[in-house]
Structure 1
């Protein structure tokens, strides 16, 4: 069974989900206009990074139905108008340089395929821009995949080809530690001073095969080396701006954003409060210092450490960022390089209890759209931010690979 809604064909599963939702101004959040809801429902929304696969790896839950925890499930995605969330195939840095990293990546891809197999009337794997667009027309939620941490490649281009065949369409070169590809922004050891020799070769091979290069997490030196080597635009799948979080290298500084703009790429704004405001970063630093001080006093095995973070939060409430502060990051990118180079990379299911007020799960994308409307963004520019920019980059990567 299919019907049309706002000009788009919807599957029976979507109709069922919509039947339990009311898209009036007061339905999901106050102050959200029908226009914002309409834009969210009528436009493809691509989120560059959602950590569902690792979430269900740690504690299985059926995201094709409503779930009690987490930030993503099918009903909430339908409510928010989310059509193409990149499923993060996240491999912890602790598994670097081990066969287990490759094994885990394949298992996480299996879990995405299982989500689709359980609910083919709701979800579909997307391996191309054409897939995303055709599945949107059918009322299906596309599940493209990106690999967070290139460790599973294990220095073998045959693994790159294997993961491409399985649907990986971007690779975040490193994660929290330097690996065999690249230095990490979080790792003080800069063993490669940017990219490794293999990493430099990998950039060319990713260009040629049609996998987007994701520069989130890498060191500044690695970023600039990627920009110099790549023949296609790159993405930052879930990064925000360092100007609002001074000293936090994980975010991009203004010069990097300008270089990304010249490259034709897109920075996809991370919603986590620690990525958005200095206050949230300072809170996390304070927590770490207080915990380390307690460990020094009582020892790492002391029972006093149990529930330490909860006690710290009670005494020092977490300074959640706000929707407006997230939008400040969008505005700043637009001021630096224009509206063609910014997108969404929420990090839902990946940043714990740190999401901003007004952006707590995937049902809240209309709030984001409303915020853009309130700031004077035209609909055509909102559509670029929601998906047009990253789909353009993905299309250019596909086109380059088709000729190489």
Structure 2
């Protein structure tokens, strides 16, 4: 009898997780917030409803005697779901509510790094009043990032010189967040190339995945509003050509230190952890630490994973993660198709996929859409992730673009992601900012 694995979540990332579960030969059950056609087709049984309704999910898991649960989206980790499932004796390969604070509370993350003197931390101030905000701006002699302490879906952070165009605008936004949340985090702005390093974690042991870079800005040339992520790239050597030679090792050591620190405080982290880092002139700095697969970066790494995913879930839960996992040595480029106007005023429409698309050498991951696998209705969020593998990033980028002739409808896609000229510009900029000696 095959194992029954319950997956919570219904986006593009969860579609990739669902496929990894199926590749392992397990039976998939799912809890979905909307009728994702791909996840539905992969599931032997599914519950359609609010993904934050943890009591209903518990009932569904118990009724169906599932063997393992995995949680995709971050807001679900901020509920008692994982804790309650484990009280019922159901194995879960995702962090408890307490361990998930590494993502759900940016203050918890910064304070933990400060307490254990973990490298990569940056100057920060927690502000509980307007006086605190004024003091922070007076004492921090550089541009800042203003952050709500909780989950923002990648859209709540605003940075001076990007979304914030003056000191007064930054102060005004900080006070707006303070009045809404009762607290606001003000951090020094760090510059450089941002990257994501994801890892499987069993409480003590850490197994790393290939580095991925996400593109959050809506429009080409990294302009426009922040989004949940317009696309992402990875390279065949598991780092990226515009990162300094030690960036991956520095980021890995930071994550290992965080895992050890959490374990020493009796809050072991079990699940997938991903760090968002900045390769800066002062070394690798932590932007944030997250408690699940990234979206879209998780799709890139899962498409490359050769090891048995369900076996990894058991190793995470049991605390015996063994060795580095096997990933295909290919470059990947992912580009999200989104509704026209996404990021400001999305206008959902329909997307039609020609049958030839399925034989064009790309993978299609279904996100915030409904319908069937070929005729889709968009929501106001990201629609389809198109991913290609190649020997190089530019080759994979061209493969994605070539496949788009088989997709009809009103949508927008950032075609510059992964292009050779864009990568070269990043390499030149990084070498100038960080110093040529750190690349050789």
TM-score normalised by length of structure 1: 0.29
Return the structure number with greater helix share.
Answer: 1
TM-score normalised by length of structure 2: 0.27
